[in-house]
Structure 1
Amino acid sequence: MLRRPKILAALAAVALPVALTGVSLGGGPPAEASVQGPPSAVAASAYQAAAEKYGVPEPVLLAVAYAQSRWDDHAGAPSTSGGYGPMHLTALGASEVADLSGKQKVASADSLQTLRKASELTGLDQSTLRTDVTANINGGAAVLASYQKSLGLPVGANTSPAQWYGAIASYAEAGTKATAAGFADDVYTIMAKGAARTTNTGQQIVMPPVAVTPDKSQLAKLSLPDGAKPAQSDVECPPSLGCEWLPAPYSEFGDGDYGNHDLANRPKTGKIDYIVIHDTEGGWQGVLNLVQDPTYVSWQYTMRASDGYTWQHVKANDVAWHAGNWYVNMHSIGIEHEGFAAQGATWYTESLYRNSAKLVRYLAVKNNIPLDRAHIIGHDQVPGTVPSTVRGMHWDPGPYWNWEHYMDLLGAPIWGKSVLPVKAGSIVTIKPGFEGNVQVLNSCDTPGTPCREQGTNFVYLRQAPDDNAPLVKDIGLHPDGSDGTTEVSDIGSRAAAGSQYVVAERQGDWVAVWYLGAKGWFKSPKSAPDAFAKPGLVVKPKAGKTSVPVYGRAYPEQSAYPEGIPYQTVTPLQYSIGAGQAYPVGDLNIETDYYRAVTFNGQPPADHVQVLGKDKYYQIWFGHRMAYVRAADVDVRPAV
C-alpha cells in the first residue's frame, strides 16, 4: 500500500528538491594550488612548520586536521558545509550567516567564516587558503592559536596538548558546548590512538600516538549554550552527542488528512531491522522547516554537516515516512545528513561521519540491529514496492558517501580479505577503496558534462569481461531495455562498497556475479582486488523452478488479514531469479507483516495494528538494492 495522495506528491518532491540553504563560495574561481615539491615532502614538513610558526603543538594540529578531513584536501572543493582543505576552513557567505541568526542553534558568524579569519591572521588571500595545502594548514594553525589566546591560555609549540581543549572545542564551530565537547573528545581520542594514512593526493602522513589527559574545565570558558541533556529530555541519543528534540507534527489538516508520521509501539508493532542513511539535498535550516510541516514527510533525525549537531523529530517506536517503501518504513529509522548526492564536488564532512556513527552505534545496540551493510543501508538500497515505483526510488546518499570509512567508524569494517578463493559459487564483498577509486560519472552540475574527478564508493558492472563492454541493463530503471549509463543518478549498473554477490564465473582478472537476474562483470585483479570471498548463505531456486520472483516488501498472505483490514496485494517486481543463479542472504529472520495505520489516532482492531503472516520471506542482496524472496520458492545453502 502506498501512502496518501498528498504524501505521495511530497515523496516525489524529495527525490531532487531545490537546495534550501545554499553555501556561498564567493571570490570567483579558486586560484591554482602553489604547493611546491613532492606531496610526501610537503606533508612531512607543513604541519611541523605551521605548528612552530603559530605556536600550536604539532600533535594538536595534526589531530584537529584529521578530525576535520583526515588530512585530505579534496582538490580545493568545498565540503557540504562550505569548508576547504585539510583544516576545513569555512566560508559561509554573509547572507547565509544573517539568515541563520536567531534561528536554530548555530555557531557564531565569525566561526562560520574561519576562511576569512585565517586570511586576516596570515595575510594570505582566501583563494590561496582554499587551494594551497600548506597555506590551508597555516591558516588552521593561526585560527587555533587565536582561539587559545582569546581564552587567556598559553600559546607555544612546546605547550602541553592537554592545555588546548578549549581552543580545539572552539574550532568545532559548534552551536552548543555539548557538540563542541564531542569534537574535542574526538580529537583527543585520535591523538591517543595515533593515525597514519595516504591522503587523496598521495601524501603519506604518520601521527604517533600521544597519551594526554585534557583539561576539560576549559569548556566553561566558551560562550555557548550547554545544549540538550539526553537524560533530561525527549531525545534518544548517546550522551556524548549533542542532540535536540524538534518534533515532527502528528496532526490533522484540511480535508481530514494527517501528517507526517504514524504512531506505533515498535518493536511490539514491528521490530526495527534497518537504519537508513539519507542526505538532505538542501541546507539544514530548510530541511528542519520541511519536517515541521504536517503536509510533508518525516524522518527520525537530521544531522548538520558543519559540526554534526543533531535534531530528533520522531521517536524510534513510531513510524516515520522517509524511505518511499511502507514495509521499510515500518522496520527502519531514517537519518537525514546535510549534503548533496551529486552537487558539484562537495564532500561529506568528517564531523558528520563521526557523529552519525556515534548515533547509529547507539541506535543499533538499543534496537538489536546488526552493524552490517545489510542493515545499515543507504536510501539507494531501499527497493521499489511494485514495478511501477522502481524507477522513482531514491539514490542518496550517492556515489560520494564513503561507506568503507563509515563502517570503520562504526567498528564494523567492510570485509577486506579473502579466506576463500574467489570462484564460481562463492560470496564476494565489494571493497574497491575510496580515494583512489575514481569512476567516470556525468551530470553532477550540468546535464551531460563530466563530474569532477574524486573518489567513489562503487565499481561498474559490464555485460562482458571487457573494459569497453556496455554496462549491465536494469529493466526497472530502463524499461526500454537500454544499457546502463554513467549518469550520476543511474545506479543500475553499480556494485557499492559492502554489497555482496555470488560469483557466476571468473576469467583471469574479471569476475562475473549474479546481478538483477543476469551476469555482471567487473575487474578484480588478484594483485589489487575489489572483491573478497567470505563464508555465508545463499538462496537458489528450488529444484524444478525455472524462475523465482522477487519482491520489494514482505507482506502477509491474504488469509492473515482480519475482517475490516483490506488485503495488501503481494506483487512481484519486474525482476526474477533464474535457475542456476544464486544470491547472498541478508537476513533470514525478517517479519512478514503489515502495520495498518491509515487514520489519525486510529485504534485496534481496525487501525494502528500489526497484521502478521505465516508466509515466510528472506531478505537478499539483489543488484544495487535489497529485495525479498518467499522461503517457499528457494533453498538456503552455504556458499561454496
Structure 2
Amino acid sequence: MLLPLLGAAPPQGAGAAPSARLQNAFAAAAAEYQVPQSVLLGVAYLQSRWDAHGGAPSVTGGYGPMHLTDARTALARTVTHDHASGDARGDDSRAPLRAAEPVPTEAQLPARLKTLVRAARLTGIPAARLRSDAAANVRGGAALLAAAQKGLGKPLSAAPSDWYGAVATFSGADDTATAATYANDVFAVIRDGERRTTDAGQAVTLAADPTAAPRAAQLRAAGLRKADTSGTECPRTVSCEWIPAPYEEFGDGDYGNHDLADRPKDQSIDYIVIHDTEATWEQTLKLVQDPTYLAWHYSLRSTDGHIVQSIRTKDVGWHAGNWYVNAKSVGLEHEGFLAQPDSWYTEAMYRSSARLVTYLGKKYGIPLDRQHILGHDTVPGPTTSTIPSMHTDPGPYWDWAHYFALMGRPFHATAGARSDVVTIKPDFARNKPQFTGCAKAGEACAPHGSSAVRVYTAPSEDAPLVKDIGLRPGGQDSTIDVNDMASRVSTGQQYAVAERRGEWTAIWYLGQKAWFKNPRKQPTAVPARGLVVTPKAGASEVPVYGRAYPEAAAYPAGMTPQAISPLPYKLLAGQRYVTGGRTTGEYFYSPTFDTSTHTVVKGKDVYYEIQFAHRIEYVRAADVQVVPVTKS
C-alpha cells in the first residue's frame, strides 16, 4: 500500500546522503507498518525532537527518537540523589527528613515504562538494537502506533486525522485530558511542520499539513479515566490534575510537608524553581502525599507531560533547601527517577513545563529569565555550612535554551560585540564538555549536548579549574564530576566581563576572574545589556549572602531574629556582577503547625540578587552601587 507522504522523503538506496538516513528510516518504517509518515514524524518530534542521544536513556528510561521505554535496563545504571539528604525546608526549625523509598522492581513499573519490550515482540528486533539503532527504534515506534490503531478497531488509514486516537494511546497516559493534550500537540506539529538537524547530524523535515485535524471523539474507545482538575492553577493548554499534599500534625508539634500562607498578599512570589524528582511517577505522588516528607507545588510526568498540582501556589512548599527561596518560590518537580546526569528530558515534558512557567510568570509578575526561573542547582546555600549539601538538579543536560524558546523568551544578543555583559549561550547539541560520574565515580560520561560551559583560572584548557571555597573549604581542586558546580556557567546566565584575550572571555565569578573559551566561529556567549553591582567607593570588599533576611530590629518582641550570616565569599573592589533586581529583606516565620503564629517579617534593608557564580547570591544595597552597562 502506497501512503501519501506529507514531506517528500529523500531518495532511498546506497546513494542517499549519510545525513538523510534518519529521514529515510521514517519513510521506510511508515511504509512497512502503514502509518502515515507525518504521524510517525510528529510523534517522534514530541518524544525526542528526533534526537537519538547516543543511545543514552531519558530520565524515564526511554531510548531513541521514539522514546521507547525500557526501565529495567536503564535502572541497572541509575545514580540517584536523594531529596531528603539535608533539610529541603532550608530552616533549622525541623530535623532532617527521612530518605526516599527505593526504586520499584520492573513488575511494579507501569506499561508506559516498558514500551521497548513490547516493540521488540511486535517487530522481532532485539531489544539491544532498539535501544542503540535509531532506524530500528523508529520501526519499533511505527509498530506500536499500528498496534494502537488496530486496538482501537480503526483501519490503517492514509489520512493522519484518522490516527488521533492511536497517537493519544501511544502517549501512555491513563486519563483522557492528558492523552488529548499529547495528541493535540502532535497534530500541532504536523499542521505547522518542523525541520531540524538532530544531535547525530541527521537532517529531518516534516512538511506542514494544515489539513491534519484532531478528532477527539476517537478517544471514547480508549477507556481512559477522567482526572480531577477541580481547583488546579494551570493554563488551559496543559493537562493538570489535583492530588493534594496533606497539611497534618503528626506528633508533638511536628508536621510536614509545607506551610499554609497567603501569597502574594503576605509576601511576593519571585521565583520558580526547576527540579527533577529522583523517583518514579508513582513514588513521586506517594511522597508528596506523605505528611512526614517534603512537598512541592507541581509534578510533571516525562512520558506525556501530564501535570499534578499538590499545593496551592499561595502556600509555601519545602523543596529548595533554602527557606528564603522556598518562601518566595513555586517548585516544579520533573519526573526523573532514572536521574543519570547524562539522561535527557522529553519534548512533551519540556512543552508542558514551559507553558506552566509562562502562565505562572504572567500570574505573579515573575520575569522569565535565569535570575528568576532557577534550577535547583542555582539556588544558593542559605548559610556556609549548607553549601556542600545543596542539590545539583536538573543538571547540565537540561536544555535551557530550548526551554526558554518554548516560553517565547529565546536567548539572543542584546548589545554590541564589546559589551561588558554576556549571556551564556552555547549551541546545546554541539557543546559537549567532558564530565565524569554519570554511572560511576571518576568514570567518563558519554558525550552529550549540554547547557554547561566550564570556567578556568587562565585562558587555557590546561589551566586549573576555578575553585569554590564554599563548596570545598579546604581549598581542594574542582573536578569535572557531573555534580560539581564549582567551575561551570549555564545557558541564559549573565555575567560581567572582566577581560578578553583572543578566543577567551573572562568574567567575574566567585570573587575572581573565570575564563571560558568563546570562539567567534562557535561562540558560547553573546553580548548583552544589563545592570551590574560593584562595591561602593572606598570599600575593598563587601559580604555575600545566601538569603535576603531582614535586620534584627524588624522582628517583633519575643521572636528571635534570624542571623544575617555572610557566606565565605567576598565581592571585591573593581569586580562587577549582573543583578537580577532588588528586594527588601523578608522572613516567613512558621515554626509550628498552628498557622495563627505564622508571620511575615518585613524589614527595611534592601538587597540585590546577583549572579555570583553558578548559583545566585545576595548583597546588601548599602554595600554596593548599581552601574548600567551601555558599552556596545
Determine if the TM-score, normalized by the shorter chain, exceeds 0.5: yes
Q: Percent identity?
A: 52
Aligned amino acid, residue 235 of structure 2: P
Give the corresponding residue for 2:5.
none
Residue 206 (structure 1) aligns with: 205
Q: 2:593 aligns to what?
A: 600
Q: Does 1:571 align with 2:561?
A: no
Aligned position for 2:498: 504
Give the one of 288, 308, 312 matched to 2:309: 312
Residue 386 of structure 2 corresponds to residue 400 of structure 1: no
1:185-219 CA-partner distances (Å, limit 9, x unpaired): 11111112211111111111122211122222212
Distance 1:112 1:568, change over 3 A: closer
Deviation at 1:388, TM superposition (A): 1.5
Report the alpha carbon displacement of residue 38 of structure 1 after superposing the two structures with TM.
Answer: 5.5
State the partner residue of 1:262: 259
SS in 1 for 2:204: strand
Report how far residue 361 of structure 1 moved: 1.8
Question: Which whole-Å CA distance do the structure 2 matches of 1:126 and 1:420 have between them?
Answer: 52
2:165 is the counterpart of 1:166? yes
Shift of 1:637: 1.3
* Cα deviation, residue 255, structure 1: 2.9
Matches within 5 A, 1:107-122: 109=111, 111-122=112-123
2:51 aligns with 72
SS in 2 for 1:574: strand
Distance 1:569 1:113, change over 3 A: closer
In the alignment, the residues of structure 2 paired with residue 293 and residue 123 of structure 1 have an alpha-carbon distance, to the nearest angstrom, of 43
Which residue matches 1:5?
A: none
Which residues of 2 match residues 215-254 of structure 1 at below 5 A? 215-229=215-229, 233-254=230-251
Cα distance in 1 for partners of 2:475, 2:71 equals 45
Indicate the residue corresponding to 1:631 in structure 2: 621
Counterpart CA distance in 1 for 2:434 and 2:113 is: 33
Is 1:177 aligned to residue 176 of structure 2? yes
Distance 1:269 1:39, change over 3 A: farther
Classify the secondary structure of the residue corresponding to 2:579: strand
Is the Cα contact below 8 Å between 1:422 and 1:428 reproduced in 2?
no
Report the counterpart of residue 382 of structure 1 in structure 2. 379
Letter in 1 for 2:224: L
Q: Does 1:323 align with 2:290?
A: no
Offset of residue 80 of structure 1: 1.8
Structure-1 separation of matches of 2:117 and 2:482: 33
1:23 corresponds to which residue? none
Is the 2:40–2:142 Cα contact (8 Å) retained in structure 1?
A: yes
Matched, 1:40 2:1: no
Instruction: Tell me whether 349-358 or 167-176 shows the greater mean CA deviation.
Output: 349-358
- Output the CA distance in 1 between the equivalents of 2:566 and 2:528: 30
Q: Secondary structure at the match of 2:604?
A: coil
Distance in 2, Cα, partners of 1:39 & 1:72: 15
CA distance in 2, matches of 1:378, 1:67: 23
1-structure distance, mates of 2:232, 2:105? 28
Report how many aligned residue pairs link the two structures. Answer: 586
1:137 is displaced (CA, Å) by 1.1
State the distance in 2 between where 1:465 and 1:112 align: 45
- C-alpha deviation, 1:523, in angstroms: 0.7
Residues 403 and 457, structure 1, Cα contact 8 Å, conserved in 2: yes
Q: Normalising by structure 2, what TM-score?
A: 0.89
**Secondary structure, aligned partner of 1:404:** helix
Indicate how the Cα distance of structure 1 residues 36 and 260 shifts in structure 2: closer, same or farther if over 3 A, else same: farther
Check whether the contact 2:20–2:204 (CA below 8 A) recurs between aligned residues.
Answer: no
Shift of 1:342: 5.4
**Amino acid corresponding to residue 598 of structure 2 in structure 1:** H
Q: Deviations over 1:381-424 (max 9, x none)?
A: 11111211112111111111111111112221123x3631235x
For the 8 Å contact 2:341–2:397, the answer to whether it is kept is no
Aligned residues of 1:87 and 1:136 also touching (Cα < 8 A): yes
Contact 1:342 1:444 in 2 (8 A): no
2:509 corresponds to which residue? 515
Displacement after TM superposition at 1:149 (Å): 2.2
Counterparts of 1:121-136 in structure 2 under 5 Å?
121-136=122-137
Contact 1:129 1:135 in 2 (8 A): yes
Residue 614 in 1 paired to residue 604 in 2? Answer: yes
SS at match of 2:319: coil
CA distance 1:96–1:310, change in 2 (3 Å): farther
Q: Which residue of 2 aligns with 1:28?
A: none
Paired position in structure 2 for 1:336: 333
Moved more, 626-635 or 351-360: 351-360
The question of 1:550 aligning with 2:544 is answered: yes
Query: Matched residues in 1 for 2:476 and 2:611: separation?
Result: 23
- The CA RMSD over aligned residues, in Å, is 1.9
Mark the CA change 1:116 to 1:390 in structure 2 (over 3 Å): closer, same or farther: closer
CA shift for structure 1 position 632: 1.1
Tell me by how many angstroms 1:326 deviates: 0.7
Distance 1:249 1:213 in 2: 41
The answer to which of 276-285 and 485-494 deviates more is 276-285
What is the CA–CA distance in structure 1 between the aligned matches of 2:209 and 2:561, rounded to whole Å?
Answer: 62
The corresponding residue for 2:42 is 63
Q: Kindly provide the CA deviation profile for residues 256-279 of structure 1, in whole angstroms up to 9, marking residues without a partner as x.
A: 211111111001121101110111
Gaps of 5+ in 1: 1-34, 101-105
**Structure 1 counterpart of 2:32:** 53
Q: How far did residue 227 of structure 1 move? A: 1.8
Give secondary structure in 2 for the equivalent of 1:614. Answer: strand
Contact 1:442 1:487 in 2 (8 A): yes
The aligned amino acid for 1:376 is I
Q: Select the residue among 399, 421, 426 that pairs with 2:417.
A: 421
| Equivalent of 1:350 in 344, 347, 350 | 347
Moved more, 612-621 or 279-288: 279-288
Question: Cα gap change, 1:499/1:366 in structure 2, threshold over 3 Å: closer, same or farther?
Answer: same
Within the candidate set 415, 419, 427, 1:433 is matched to: 427
Q: d(CA) in 2 for partners of 1:72 and 1:155?
A: 27
Q: Which residue of 2 aligns with 1:20?
A: none
How big is the shift at 1:302?
A: 1.8
C-alpha distance in structure 1 between counterparts of 2:405 and 2:275, whole Å: 19
Q: Deviations over 1:45-66 (max 9, x none)?
A: 1111211221111111111110
Which amino acid in structure 1 is aligned with residue 409 of structure 2?
Answer: A
Question: How far has the Cα of 1:92 moved from its partner?
Answer: 4.1
Cα–Cα, structure 1 residues 38 and 129, in superposed 2: closer, same or farther, change >3 Å? farther
The residue number in structure 1 matching 2:294 is 297
**CA shift at 1:572, angstroms?**
1.1
Mapped partners of 2:341, 2:266: distance in 1: 42
Per the alignment, do residues 215 and 584 of structure 1 end up closer, same or farther by CA in structure 2, a change over 3 Å counting?
same
Indicate the larger mover: 278-287 or 620-629.
278-287
Q: Residue 569 of structure 1 aligns to a residue in which SS?
A: coil
Amino acid of the residue matched to residue 346 of structure 1?
A: S
Per the alignment, residue 149 of structure 1 pairs with 150
Q: Alpha-carbon deviations, 1:422-464, whole Å to 9, x = none?
A: 35xx110001122221111111111111112211211100000
- Amino acid across the alignment from 2:58: S
1:44 & 1:305 partners in 2: Cα distance?
25
Structure 1 match to 2:481: 487
Structure-1 separation of matches of 2:140 and 2:267: 51
Shift of 1:378: 0.3
- Aligned mates of 1:36, 1:402 — CA distance in 2: 35
**Structure-2 residue corresponding to 1:140:** 141
Letter in 2 for 1:257: D
